[in-house]
Amino acid sequence: MNASDLPVANNTPVCYSIKSPPFNFNPSVTSIYFSAIFMALGLPSNLIAFIVLFKSFQRTCSRSRSFFLIFLGGLVVTDFMGLLVTGSIVVSFYVTHFNWRQIDPNCHFCNFMGMSMVFYGLCPLLLSATMAVERFIGINHPFARSTSMPKSRTVSMVLMVWLIAGCIALLPLTGLGSYHIQMPGSWCFFNISSEGKDMAFSLIFSLVGLVCIAVSFLLNTVSVVTLIKVCCGQDRTQRRRDHEVEMMVQLILIMIIASVCWCPLLVFIAKTVLSGGPLRIKYLLLWLRFATWNQILDPWVYILFRRAVFKRVYPRLDWSRGSIMSLYPSFGETVRRFTRASLKSSLGSDETEETEKSNVTAKSALKLEPPPP
């Protein structure tokens, strides 16, 4: 049933045209526990992470590191606000058991929550993909990014990601899809249907998320391979990139958490609308709660996986690249064998190019040399 194509009959708002409260259900105690626990864990975690990032941003001297911290700050703010906005509505419903049709007869509040669910769901995935692109350029093409690029441009990129997610969330209000109240009556989300415009918006939401995860995986893989070649190669004149390694470790963990938490929900939505089968609300709630863990686990990546924390846990261990590789000589030898061919080929091509240039210069000098008297 495509609600976005239906006329509003009998003055029934669109968000109540398929399911209309109050619902006949027995609210279990575990339902409010889920939302309350998510908020209790997620809000303090993101707040702590924001403080840690702010202090790191003040101390950092690396321009690339400061860019990365700005992206992380945008991700923390997004996760914090997502838990605060959506969680407070759900918890309020379980505490007061309000009737949506009485407090929101025109669907404004329901549309706001539906937009919040879409916006705060897509933002972390879009930001992760943007961070992967930034790290890919910073590691693989360091000279393509100007060293004098202002930090305000990175802030503009974060704002652009929020704008894109906001525009996608506004699509149901323009007629492409529709927001509806969902069982058990505590939240609103877009109508997951296999017909018409509702199907189009469901696929847009699902495919945007899956494409972001795929882009993050591809670019992070290339960046890690390049970073291994730089850090573990035979060329001893390469500058140390400990901060690059730290950023890549954090970015990979963010990607893994987002993939594990969001892929089940995104695949479930795409599979439901493409198969044409009925929506199984039980699995929708399960995968939605699974996706919420992304906003809870993300901040602990920034809190725990830092060199400063590792140095406090193991103060006697030197966390430089040489000492770490000396702990695992077999791994270091394997990496060197893996990178030797590419490094030799690149060095060989450079030497050949320099030899050819010197030969051409010598020949031209001989030609220009005047004959002896």
pLDDT in tens, 278-299: 888 888 888 998 999 999 998 8
Q: Name residue 190's beta-bridge partners.
A: 179
Section 125-149 average pLDDT: 77
Which residues, including other chains, have CB under 8 Å from residue 303's CB and lie 6 or more apart? 45, 48, 49, 52, 309
Query: pTM of whole model > 0.85?
Result: no
Q: Of all helices (H) and strands (E), which one includes residue 191?
A: none
pLDDT of res. 326: 45
Of 117-126, 157-166, 205-214, 348-357, least confident by mean pLDDT is: 348-357
Q: Report the distance separating Cα 99 and Cα 93, nearest Å.
A: 9
Nearest to 48 by CA among 76, 74, 70: 76
Q: What is the pLDDT of residues 190-239, one digit of tens each?
A: 999 888 899 999 999 999 999 999 999 999 898 888 877 776 654 444 44
**Do β-strands 187-190 and 179-182 pair in parallel, antiparallel, or remain unpaired?**
antiparallel
Whole-number mean pLDDT of the chain?
77
Tokens of 193: 């249907």
* Domains delineated in the chain: 28-313 (1.20.1070.10)
Residue 220 in contact with residue 248, Cβ under 8 Å? yes
Which residues, including other chains, have CB under 8 Å from residue 167's CB and lie 6 or more apart? none
Q: Report the distance separating Cα 148 and Cα 135, nearest Å.
A: 17
Q: How far is CA 165 from CA 72, 120, 123, 124, 250, in A?
A: 17, 8, 6, 10, 23
The residue ranking higher by pLDDT, 371 or 22, is: 22
Residue 321 in contact with residue 231, Cβ under 8 Å? yes
- 188: helix, strand or coil: strand
Percent residues over pLDDT 90 in the chain? 30
